Amino acid sequence: MTIHADHSAPETAVDDSAADVRTKFGISVEDYMLPARHQIQMVNPDGTLRSQDEQGTEPGHEYPTPGDAELMAAYEQLVVGRRVNDQNSALVRQGRMAVYPSSHGQEACQVAAAMCLSEGDWLFPTYRDAVAVMTRGVDPVEVMTIFRGDWHGGYDPTEHKVGIQCTPLTTQLLHAVGVAHAAKLRGENTVVMAMCGDGATSEGDFHEALNFAAVFHLPVIFFVQNNKYAISVPLSHQSVAPSLAHKAVGYGMAGERVDGNDLVALLAVMDRAVKLARDGSGPLLIEAHTYRMQAHTNADDATRYRPDSEVAEWQAKDPLARMKSYLTDKGLLDAAASERITSHAEAVATQLREGLGEDVPVQPLDLFKYVFAKQTPQLKEQSELLASELARAESANGTDNSGTESAK
């Protein structure tokens, strides 16, 4: 199924893609591309399931409820993610981590973004998406190394097919497009999840990435976590579009918006998006409505730009409490399961605390080691200069652990 717009020759274009969509969903191409009139929501904030009616299903926007096993596995990751977020914030307060942009409140998005993917797929995260990276299977200590300040990265992207956590906003979206394009050329059936925030949708690279993915008809899912703020700047300063999901249609792809604190709805929407993309729909854009419960990072003071009452409002929509009461009511989550999950989360937190608490020596000469695949004479010379400084310092201190100094 190929969906494209051909403005020059609408009558003569071989528009079988549009025909496909019309047959598949019984709707027009525009209606397929436009998000539903409301955000997709399956579980109420109090944990009760919304009826099919309340879900307000529209043709082309029907979503089956995910299976029990998937829900339970996702819930477990949700609990782990929350524990890790709060653990890391504590480590920052204790000075054991340099910085941590917490996704507290956004964990449902984090979990869904990673869990909807298969092993061969790729994930392109931002600085805020550490929990998604962990959920994908990357070792938690390796994920957090960047925030401890040892090195500008800590994990091998190829091991779990997770790009580096990216800070220059939306630059990673184009990398996601490139990975998908290469996969297509190599005949691999790879779906790529490309993540960014609401504020980031204003950057030029966001628009270039969407257009490239659409024009090359690539299986990329652009996943925007709309947490309402870009540091201090509210969404109204970024966009006056009806929704961020509406941006999809301008590029010729389908958009959808979903309650980002409703893990059930998120899984349903993401699972379908992955399936569509894998089946050849081209790219999709999903906007999740959520909220950044804490400050942008520990360096930020959120009371300067948003009222406490607003934070309290979102506290009542917490993704964790909602999922817990939904699964309990459904009879899936009993005391024993709950305890097992909590102790798993504790184990991860302990692993992190111990892993990050260690005074791991940094290697100053590593500065020169990874600049190029093939070392240059100039860097060799500079490396020798630093080595001789270190040697002098060591002999002055009477120690001898060549090239290694304890982290300051």
Partner 1 sequence: MTVTTSANGTTTANVSAATASAAASAAATAEATGPQSLTMAKALNTAMADAMRNDPSVLVFGEDVGMLGGVFRITDGLMAEFGEQRCFDTPLAESGIVGMAVGMAINGMRPAIEMQFDAFAYPAFEQIVSHVAKMHNRTKGKLKMPMVIRVPYAGGIGGVEHHCDSSESYYAHTAGLKVYTPATVADGYRMLREAIDSDDPVMFMEPKKLYWSKDQVDLGALRAEHDAGTSTEGRAAVARPGTDATLIAYGPSVPTALAAAAAAAEEGRSLEVIDVRTLVPFDDETVCASVRKTGRAVVIAEAHGFASVSSEIVARVQERAFHYLAAPILRVTGFDVPFPSPKLEHYYLPSVDRILDAVDDLQWED
Ligand X SMILES: Cc1ncc(C[n+]2csc(CCOP(=O)(O)OP(=O)(O)O)c2C)c(N)n1
Q: How many residues in the chain?
A: 408
Task: From residue 313, give the alpha-carbon distance in Å to each of 307, 308, 359, 408.
Answer: 10, 9, 40, 42
Q: Please, which residue, 200 or 249, has the CB nearer to ligand X?
A: 200
Helix ranges (H only) for 358-408 are 366-369, 377-397
3-class DSSP state for residue 222?
A: strand
- For residue 280, count other CB atoms closer than 10 A to its CB: 14
> Quick check: 227 binds ligand X (CB under 6 A)?
yes
Give which of ligand X, Mg ion, partner 1, none residue 305 binds (C-beta under 5 to 8 Å, depending on kind). Answer: partner 1
- Joined together, the tokens standing for residue 69 give 């096993």
Q: Which of 239, 298, 328, 338 binds partner 1 (CB under 8 A)?
A: 239
> Quick check: 227 binds Mg ion (CB under 5 A)?
yes
Q: Which of 107, 198, 259, 287 binds ligand X (CB under 6 A)?
A: 198
Binding mask of the shown chain, residues 165 to 204, with x at each position contacting Mg ion by CB under 5 A: --------------------------------xxx-----
Contacting range for ligand X; rule: CB under 6 A; set: 25-33, 229-237, 323-331, 341-349: 229-237
Q: Which of 14, 19, 182, 231 binds ligand X (CB under 6 A)?
A: 231
Q: Please, which residue, 27 or 233, has the CB nearer to partner 1?
A: 233
> Quick check: 287 binds ligand X (CB under 6 A)?
no
Q: Where are the beta strands (DSSP E) in 207-351?
A: 220-226, 229-230, 233-234, 254-259, 284-289
Give, as ranges, the residues between 208 and 227 that touch partner 1 (CB under 8 A). 226
Give which of Mg ion, partner 1, ligand X, none residue 128 binds (C-beta under 5 to 8 Å, depending on kind). Answer: ligand X
Q: Which residue has the tokens 């929509």?
A: 317
Cβ of residue 172: shortest distance to Mg ion, in angstroms?
A: 15
Residue type, 261: N
> Quick check: 134 binds partner 1 (CB under 8 A)?
no
The answer to whether the beta carbons of residues 235 and 300 sit under 8 Å apart is no
Cβ of residue 197: shortest distance to ligand X, in angstroms?
A: 2
> Quick check: 103 binds Mg ion (CB under 5 A)?
no
Binding residues with partner 1: total (CB under 8 A): 61
Within 8 A by CB and 6+ apart from 125, the residues are 132, 133, 162, 163, 165, 166, 172, 195
Q: Which residue has the tokens 């509406």?
A: 246
What's the 3-state SS for 135-200? HCCCCHHHHHHHHHCCCCCCCCHHHHCECCCECCCCHHHHHHHHHHHHHHHCCCCCCEEEEEECHH
Within 8 A by CB and 6+ apart from 225, the residues are 106, 109, 128, 195, 196, 197, 198, 260, 288, 290
Longest CA span, the chain:
83
Q: Which of 27, 99, 215, 337 binds partner 1 (CB under 8 A)?
A: 99
Contacting range for ligand X; rule: CB under 6 A; set: 177-185, 190-198, 314-322, 344-352: 190-198
Cβ of residue 238: shortest distance to partner 1, in angstroms?
A: 5
Binding mask of the shown chain, residues 365 to 394, with x at each position contacting partner 1 by CB under 8 A: -xxx--x------xx--x---x--x-----
Q: Which of 230, 253, 263, 302 binds ligand X (CB under 6 A)?
A: 230
Q: Which of 61, 104, 247, 292 binds ligand X (CB under 6 A)?
A: 292
Note the residues at the interface with Mg ion (CB under 5 A).
197-199, 227, 230
Note the residues at the interface with partner 1 (CB under 8 A).
38-39, 98-99, 146-152, 167-169, 199-200, 202-205, 226, 228-244, 299-300, 303-310, 362, 364, 366-368, 371, 378-379, 382, 386, 389, 407-408
